[in-house]
Structure 1
């Protein structure tokens, strides 16, 4: 574990800080039990005045929706994101994403123990995000001249944008997934049609333009799940250092407690 990861695991709970929620989304796996367990949260809320809460950049919002990491406010240099289940204390996911000063994505590293401990490390080389395995190169994503991700080379899926935000994923001309954002570039809906259908929605409760609660709900066939998140220790850009998540699903009569930990550096 790196020094940054070690520091993230030592979370403090200041009594004076008001916790604000983070919205969450998840990668829908073959089993609904892990429906809300694969992907990190996706929208920071500011605890300062409304004038300090800026919307996510188009690039950040789109990258986060597509690659499924946590979007962050500000001119981000890199962000380390961990997910820890409080029941057993294990870190189940790790994300590290870096950006150029102009906001273009530079590298991605992630590890997910829910997928057999799989991990991927990608680096931007010219107009592609490429994985390096020893001396072998494996192309994952195609970028355009504005650094938008326009194609998943591995799956042959095309990414369609509307007003500079990701709008649809198409395969052989058919829409397989669509995204909707609000005026603050906060993700409010994901709808997938294949290989299995699901609808994921995010609701934002605001008070004087400040987000006070964000909840996630998902529906797949006759099954459902929901999450609510509370966040702490916001920095000057309105990004938290850690968030507490409570999850409930229709499959099991119990509540799951999860912690999201963040370390973000800026230009």
Structure 2
């Protein structure tokens, strides 16, 4: 009888220990999923495509020459001539940093200024193309004619288009009661156009003619004594644009004459 009691007590103790340890939480950690390292975002490549006149030699090398290359050819971007549906073109990757803008530039079809682009009549552009801020999408340009080659007549391609100008100015600009001015578009050098203040910018919607070289400058008051200057206060050439369709042009004035 005594032995039976001992056996019962032993079994009860064993079961108690089993139940106790069986109810304790497990200390085994669940395997954690390994974090996949995030790939660094690659900056989106911006492409500048320029349509070329049919007179462009198929074997030519097109140069995008500008202030970024000190207006020389050694460090200038270049492209072979491509063809798409009989349209000749060249493409350039805009890999400049935001701080590199504004960029002024022109096109040539060889590494010499004797081969530079000219206007619809074969004359000088009389100014530079500009990209004032880092673009958020690809850019489309067009070259009308080349110096020394036969001019193309664009009369049948020309039409009325609309340009929306958006202009940023220095923070300390004293404008003309909420207006600044632009002279030159459509050869309207006097009196020019009014741009009205809209928030932090000045805006203007104007019509012009496609497939023509348009030149212009900004003034903070409608007098040449208040014309725009570069960041060092030096003279700037005419801004030049050549458009084929309705467009928006964002410009940045770096300083004023006074």
TM-score normalized with structure 2 length: 0.25
Report the structure number with the largest CA radius of gyration.
2
Larger helix proportion of the pair: 2
Higher relative contact order (CA 8 A, sep 6+): 1
Larger strand proportion of the pair: 1
